[in-house]
Structure 1
């Protein structure tokens, strides 16, 4: 069994990539797609231009027009999802920076990525069907978003967006 420990220096590099990116795309299919949606919502609340691509055709369209100023955070437990890997190959041809969140360092996705964050795979647990493979990936996203929120600009934006949504719900409820 591989020992996984998050590398804080690596995570800080990812934070810098997010801060400097024109757009941040989260790619994920299936349960990784749901994780992509959650990650996107978190960045949007901080005022970061973020998009979730959870369907292969959208990944191909985005990858075909992406640029060196964009960042893709590709989420795949196996790192072998064929359509995701092919979309990343296309994005790399267009000079996009790619971060992979995956359980396999030697997967096709990991081989294409500029930065690979290794996460624990549920195959190491006796009952993989009981434990969602996205838990360890979501933990990495938790750490990344927590580090981003140390920046006053992102923290203030998060507060404003949350307040805005809560006020809207409160106003609608009290009508």
Structure 2
């Protein structure tokens, strides 16, 4: 009975799972040596490979670069026509070839060895020329491709990709790479924005709407209008926060019979206002605004005002 499409798909996935199990079994101290070599590399990690191996190599290079290990991809065919000059003497090479006999790759190995750059080879053939010419060989140990013809790179490509991820994760942990570090390499990504700190977008210095608690209320209103935050922050001579007055505070004060012309800032302000520190995340500032139904937060350090963040600033930052 002919296999269904679903069965074929599941079978292909099972073959690739088996390939990953074989890869795991083959992992040995060469993996540790490769990680240590990369950690001690003063230059970049240059990844090279042809065809599907090259495509996987590009992804591995991108993963390394985004997790704290500087890396770039070098196409072997371009390398033999001048791009070998991209390699510096402090770089380490990762050469990828399933067969270990890729002509274009083997053509650049002698020059790289002559320069003294260490070579890590990733192949599925322990007896291949590339494996023998390398300083460290990482064996894929893939028995069979998911392709029913055992021709199209499928299981071997997956194993190579996963091995690259394993290297990246091992390096990441050895370097003590953090979410904050990751965000630095992904400033335009969602994670990068979620890890943005308040100090990166806060207003400070002359931008701040500062007044004295003893300031006439009508002058306080002018400061609120000129600075454009819908509030004024009452501080003493040492910049210690004494209170905050917002548009809402002002409306409530007038509604309760207060006079703008005959009152002081302290008469209408809210004492002990909610505040934050500069090192908290912008998303945490937003959560605090939502929790207390406010749109502005003073930023303090040792009880002194150093900045201000408005809901509009958070919206502009792209965090949400």
**TM-score normalised per structure 2:** 0.47
Q: C-alpha deviations, 1:54-85, integer Å up to 9, x for none?
A: 34123663545645521100010001110101
Contact 1:119–1:137 at 8 Å: present in 2 too? yes
Deviation at 1:86, TM superposition (A): 1.1
Kept in 2, the 8 Å contact 1:72–1:98? The answer is yes
**How far apart in 1 are the matches of 2:121 and 2:91?**
14
In structure 2, the CA distance between the partners of 1:55 and 1:86, relative to structure 1 (3 Å rule), is closer
Matched, 1:137 2:129: no
Partner-residue secondary structure (3-state), 1:149: helix
Aligned to 1:25: 46
Q: Note if 1:35 corresponds to 2:56.
A: yes
Q: Which runs of 5+ in 2 are unaligned?
A: 1-21, 194-314
Q: Does 1:7 align with 2:31?
A: no
Which consecutive segments of 4 or more residues in structure 1 shift more than 6 A? 170-174
Answer whether contact 1:64 1:91 (CA < 8 A) is retained.
Answer: no
Query: For residues 76 and 101 of structure 1, what CA distance do their matches in structure 2 show?
Result: 6
Structure showing greater relative contact order (alpha-carbon pairs closer than 8 Å, 6 or more residues apart):
1
CA RMSD of aligned residues (A): 2.9
Q: Distance in 2 between matches of 1:70 and 1:63?
A: 12
Task: Kindly name which structure, 1 or 2, has the bigger radius of gyration based on alpha carbons.
Answer: 2
Aligned length: 171
- Spell out the pairing of 1:156-175 with structure 2 (5 A cutoff): 156-162=180-186, 164-166=188-190
SS where residue 13 of structure 1 aligns? helix
* Larger proportion of helix: 1
Q: Does the 8 Å CA contact 2:145/2:152 hold for their aligned counterparts?
A: no
Question: Which of 109, 117, 125 pairs up with 2:138?
Answer: 117
Residue matched to 2:173: 150
Give the structure-1-normalised TM-score: 0.81
